[in-house]
């Protein structure tokens, strides 16, 4: 099945700095790459996703980039704010008919210091 590696496991930044979280995947057939944010004591929620036919996608301060050749994708958060503090999970999944479902990275704990 798919193997997703996520780095770093912990990221500490000052408010206003940028944060970057990187994930690598093993199966070149993977075509859907979502990112989930889990605030303390809450459910994971989708914040942005990208498909393999797109190289980059932005939503306000959040962006995701995909490098299919290198099999990695990254979450970029600009102008970080304390409310961005959370655990972020990446995932990768394959097209319909594939034999496995979305595989998650182990998560990155982002801490934004005021």
Partner 1 sequence: DVKVTQSSRYLVKRTGEKVFLECVQDMDHENMFWYRQDPGLGLRLIYFSYDVKMKEKGDIPEGYSVSREKKERFSLILESASTNQTSMYLCASSLYRGRWDSPLHFGNGTRLTVT
Candidates 7, 71, 78, 104: give the one binding partner 1 (CB under 8 A). 104
Indicate the Cα dihedral angle 17, 88, 105, 4, nearest 10°: -50
The torsion region of residue 70 among left (phi > 0), alpha (psi -120 to 50) and beta comes to alpha
State which of residues 12, 45, 67, 81 lies at the interface with partner 1 (CB under 8 A): 45
Closest by CA to 29, choosing from 57, 1, 7, 49, is 1
Cα atoms in the 13 Å half-sphere on the side-chain side of 88: 31
Q: Does 27 engage in binding with partner 1 (CB under 8 A)?
A: no
| Contact window for partner 1 (CB under 8 A) among 18-26, 55-63, 72-80, 104-112 | 104-112
Least distance (Å) between residue 68 CB and partner 1: 15
- Using CB under 8 A as the criterion, which residues of the chain lie in contact with partner 1 when the complex forms? 1, 6, 9, 31-32, 34, 36, 42-46, 49, 51, 89, 93-98, 100-102, 104-107
């Amino acid at each position: 099945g798919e193997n997703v590696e996520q780095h770093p496991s912990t990221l500490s930044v000052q408010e206003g700095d940028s944060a970057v979280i990187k994930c690598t995947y093993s199966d070149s057939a993977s075509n859907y790459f979502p990112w989930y944010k889990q605030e303390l004591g809450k459910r994971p929620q989708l914040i942005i996703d990208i498909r393999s036919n797109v190289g980059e996608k932005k939503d306000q301060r959040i962006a995701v980039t995909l490098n299919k050749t290198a099999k990695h994708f990254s979450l970029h958060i600009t102008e970080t704010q304390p409310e961005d503090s959370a655990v972020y999970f990446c995932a990768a999944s394959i097209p319909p008919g594939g034999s496995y479902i979305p595989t998650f990275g182990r998560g990155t704990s982002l801490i934004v210091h005021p």
